[in-house]
Structure 1
Amino acid sequence: MSRAPEQPQDPILWSAALALGFWLLVGWNLGIPSQPYFDEIHYLPAARDLIALDTFSNREHPLFGKEMIALGMMLLGDNPWGWRIMPSLAGALALFAVQRTVWFGTLDRYASLVSGLLVATGFHLFIHSRIAMLDVFAIAGILVAFWQCAAAMREPETGRWRLALAGVALGLAMASKWSTLIIAAVPGLAFLVLRWFAGRRRLLLSRRGMPVPGMTLVEAFLWLGIVPLLVYAATFWPAYHFTYQPITEGLIAHHRFMLELQTQVLKPHPYQSNWPEWVLNWRAIWYLYEPIDGAQRGVMLIGNPLTMLIGIPALMWCAWQGISAKRPMHGAVALLYAISLGFWIFAAKPIQFYYHYFLPSTALLVALALALSDLRNAGRGKIAGAVLIANLLVFLFFYEIIAAEPLARPDSFAVWTWLESWR
């Protein structure tokens, strides 16, 4: 008799524990700084306007992220915890979602948990889970959508409700930041391409073949095309009810105005950068560096200096494996990185910043997790383990300067600014 195939155990409880631990770490001193910092100065007034339905402000961005910040303020008050509680929860959800995506894409316990560990310590998610900005809501929506799409492919019997949930998540991601627009189209296009290559003669109505047997292309278009647009439009409901500057000429006219605001030529900014600098982790952004709450404190946004660099060859490995060995998760991660970074290469936005690398860097860290799993399976587990230990040590070394902890001196920034471009 042939041996029964191995059935790996779902690490969902470990993934949940890692997400919970991450949220608790994010929540440590979440109320510091006690004053708005960096782009909170834009989004907190907009959230207050939403609560009061007074003036429609910050009209260049969609509303959902600001609605979530406003919800936190309504629950916990107009204070630092109220400002940042919803971003912290969105960050924990994003971390859980990335692990579930890798699990359903690979059935690899090690890769799933390592992806969570790398993303949690990659700096981007940690920093943006502690500040009232819009980016973490956009990332969480995209990752939840990918999780549900991967699970629908793995468990087709759950495909209908999972793709419906993915559609809602995609709509909320787009309603947080427009930078997710191209990525939000990927699940629907992927369904079309995979069903096309399945060779079904009745392309639109066939229920057979990849990616989700039992579902037609028409139904998939409903969940992944129509539902996201309806959810996106629904998030603008408060904008019709502001006392001052409400939407009066319809949603399409308002979007023309938003596009004008997004593409206007702004003055050069000292922190602006472009995509080659993001890939090389070359240009930092100081979200905070000043005496506040009784101490010198700082928040420097860069990527983890170790994993951002070794993730590049890992990404190349995943691209090669996706093409040569036809390993779908490896290829999908490399493709996601290329699309999410390519958006910023060609976007008509004249001033760009390193935080726009948030989603591509997340894909890069997942690629590193897959490469480390391959190393381990090839008998090089000690190398993979050494990388993880080194990654944790780097995170701990930088913790003070990414978590607004008290610093020893006004010039303490020099400890972490290894490059002149980080100053």
Structure 2
Amino acid sequence: MQTAATPPRPTLIASGIGAAAQFLFTLNLTRPTKVVFDETHYVPAARVLMKLAYPTNTEHPLLGKALIATGMTLFGDNALGWRIMSTIAATAIVIGVFAILWMLFHRTRTAMFGALFVIFNFTVFIQARIGMLDGFMAAFVILAIVALLRAMRSPPGKVMRRWVLGSVLLGLAVATKWTAAPFVAYAAIAFLVMRRRDAAAWPGLRPIPALLILGTVSIATYFLTFAPAFFYAQEPLTLGQLIPFQLHMYAQQTQVLPSHPYQSSWWSWPLMIRPIWYLYEKVDGAVRGILLLGNPAILWGGLVAVAACLVIGIRRRSLKFLGIAGLWIGSYAIWAVIPKSLGFFYYYYLPSIFLCIALAALIDHRRGKWRHWDWAYLALVTLLFVMFYPIISAAALPNDQAFLHWMWLRSWP
């Protein structure tokens, strides 16, 4: 809700940043022209889903693969079709982070810094350019946070529709990857805590109806995304099989898998001890590489920002700063308890986005004392992006040993 004390929404600036992000994510998107890393699983699954042929890749829900199939339907079964929807999801994340920070701080500068940190975070750039599920899941989570925050200060007549929208988006996130499920519970907890502190939050929305709507709508949305499976030519899903199929998915998710050269433990991800080579070979006429790595200034500096936000939140009893720290903690801590036999650095994708929010929040908090340091930090983030661009964008490299130039840690190769 906009009041006399609230500055007008910087829609034009947000749109410009979003357009720049979309251009950067789409530039040379078809490089390489072959499937990369887990595209080997999801692109074939999308092909099968396009034909409604039979169930495949049954360890994950359908929605992410349906979105990849949408891109293939629009642009063909080629590198552009496999990846274009991922670029749109990443751009939605950029704009979503801008919106979150603006609603929390009402300062365009703060929102702009957070959005630019997202653009230049290697994890976001790389996942924007590959046909995998995590980018879609993260986009739905970020957009759900935007919708729920907007509902919090909306006029009474708009609160319900935005609360329902946030619930739908959370359902879509879970329908992409189950790892988004805790955010439904996080939303419920945040609502109850905020309403206890501020009775004016979500005006007219009572706790019990709010929680019932959140749970019912998100669950209903999740199950509705299985509709295509009822029309498979072979082994179509039935209503009686819908719940047992969820148990089958759980069994697939928790099965013990053989070791993988790029597996890593959850505690190591913030330190970037074991990144993942999505690609390193001669393809399309040159040696090319894609190293899934985070921007060191964001992934390492962001840890300091999360700790600082937590301290500020405790000292000042600020739910805003506690919530920002909690986004990272909540999205990361779940991996300590999720019963998966193997872990990979790309599971850290969503927490790496929340680091950008924490950095922007800390810069805003220290803006009077860190004059011009925010621009210096953004310059460092941008410089590192430019330095690492050749091995995060599949650019042509001079030889098969060129990767050594970027290997800061012994565990990276």
Matching of residue 339 in structure 1 with residue 330 in structure 2: yes
* 2:274 aligned counterpart, secondary structure: coil
Matching of residue 368 in structure 1 with residue 367 in structure 2: no
- The Cα of 1:246 is off from its aligned counterpart by 3.0
Contact 1:12 1:100 in 2 (8 A): no
Residue in 2 that maps onto 1:395 = 385
- The Cα of 1:188 is off from its aligned counterpart by 2.2
Matching of residue 300 in structure 1 with residue 291 in structure 2: yes
Residue in 2 that maps onto 1:102 = 101
- Within 2, Cα distance between the matches of 1:194 and 1:5? 23
Residue in 2 that maps onto 1:242 = 232
Aligned pairs for 1:27-66 within 5 A? 27-66=26-65
C-alpha change, 1:211 and 1:6, in structure 2 (3 Å) is: closer
The letter for the 2-side match of 1:295 is A
Residue in 2 that maps onto 1:220 = 210
Matching of residue 271 in structure 1 with residue 262 in structure 2: yes
- Within 2, Cα distance between the matches of 1:301 and 1:188? 33
The letter for the 2-side match of 1:215 is L
Cα shift readout 1:133-175 (whole Å, capped 9, x = no counterpart): 0001000000000011111113244312211211111111000
The letter for the 2-side match of 1:313 is V
| Aligned-residue RMSD, C-alpha | 1.6
For these two proteins, the number of residue pairs brought into alignment is 409
- The Cα of 1:219 is off from its aligned counterpart by 3.4
Residue in 1 that maps onto 2:371 = 381
* 1:224 aligned counterpart, secondary structure: helix
Contact 1:106 1:329 in 2 (8 A): no
Cα shift readout 1:392-414 (whole Å, capped 9, x = no counterpart): 00011111111111111111111
- Within 2, Cα distance between the matches of 1:396 and 1:405? 12
- Within 2, Cα distance between the matches of 1:266 and 1:36? 23
- The Cα of 1:386 is off from its aligned counterpart by 1.1
- Within 2, Cα distance between the matches of 1:184 and 1:273? 27
The letter for the 2-side match of 1:336 is L
The letter for the 2-side match of 1:183 is F
The letter for the 2-side match of 1:344 is W
Cα shift readout 1:52-110 (whole Å, capped 9, x = no counterpart): 11121000001101000011111111111111111111111111111101111221222
Residue in 2 that maps onto 1:8 = 7
The letter for the 2-side match of 1:332 is G
Cα shift readout 1:297-317 (whole Å, capped 9, x = no counterpart): 110001101221111111111
Residue in 2 that maps onto 1:141 = 140
Q: Which moved further from structure 2: 6-15 or 142-151?
A: 6-15
Residue in 1 that maps onto 2:312 = 321
Residue in 2 that maps onto 1:205 = none
Contact 2:101 2:114 in 1 (8 A): yes
**Structure 1 unpaired stretches of 5+:** 199-208
Residue in 2 that maps onto 1:182 = 182
The letter for the 2-side match of 1:349 is K
Contact 1:101 1:148 in 2 (8 A): no
- The Cα of 1:382 is off from its aligned counterpart by 2.1
Residue in 1 that maps onto 2:121 = 122
Contact 2:154 2:203 in 1 (8 A): no
Contact 1:104 1:154 in 2 (8 A): no
- Within 1, Cα distance between the matches of 2:44 and 2:200? 47
- The Cα of 1:262 is off from its aligned counterpart by 0.3
Matching of residue 211 in structure 1 with residue 201 in structure 2: yes
- The Cα of 1:295 is off from its aligned counterpart by 1.1
Residue in 1 that maps onto 2:171 = 171
- Within 1, Cα distance between the matches of 2:396 and 2:12? 34
The letter for the 2-side match of 1:322 is G
* 1:185 aligned counterpart, secondary structure: helix
* 1:287 aligned counterpart, secondary structure: strand
Contact 2:144 2:170 in 1 (8 A): yes
Residue in 2 that maps onto 1:206 = none
- The Cα of 1:10 is off from its aligned counterpart by 2.3
- The Cα of 1:361 is off from its aligned counterpart by 1.3
Contact 1:142 1:184 in 2 (8 A): no
Q: Which moved further from structure 2: 51-60 or 242-251?
A: 242-251
The letter for the 2-side match of 1:348 is P
The letter for the 1-side match of 2:280 is Y
- Within 2, Cα distance between the matches of 1:110 and 1:220? 33
Structure 1 vs Structure 2: percent identity of aligned residues?
38
- Within 2, Cα distance between the matches of 1:160 and 1:231? 17
- Within 1, Cα distance between the matches of 2:335 and 2:72? 32
- Within 1, Cα distance between the matches of 2:407 and 2:22? 27
- Within 1, Cα distance between the matches of 2:80 and 2:116? 25
Residue in 2 that maps onto 1:201 = none
Residue in 2 that maps onto 1:203 = none
Q: Any runs of at least 4 consecutive aligned residues in structure 1 with deviations exceeding 4 A, and if so which?
A: 4-7
- Within 2, Cα distance between the matches of 1:147 and 1:233? 23
- The Cα of 1:197 is off from its aligned counterpart by 5.1
- The Cα of 1:185 is off from its aligned counterpart by 2.2
- The Cα of 1:214 is off from its aligned counterpart by 1.6
- Within 2, Cα distance between the matches of 1:220 and 1:211? 12
Contact 1:53 1:241 in 2 (8 A): yes
The letter for the 2-side match of 1:384 is D
Contact 1:46 1:58 in 2 (8 A): yes
- Within 1, Cα distance between the matches of 2:391 and 2:86? 19
Aligned pairs for 1:407-422 within 5 A? 407-422=397-412
- Within 1, Cα distance between the matches of 2:214 and 2:197? 19
The letter for the 2-side match of 1:228 is S
TM-score after normalising by structure 2: 0.95
The letter for the 2-side match of 1:152 is A
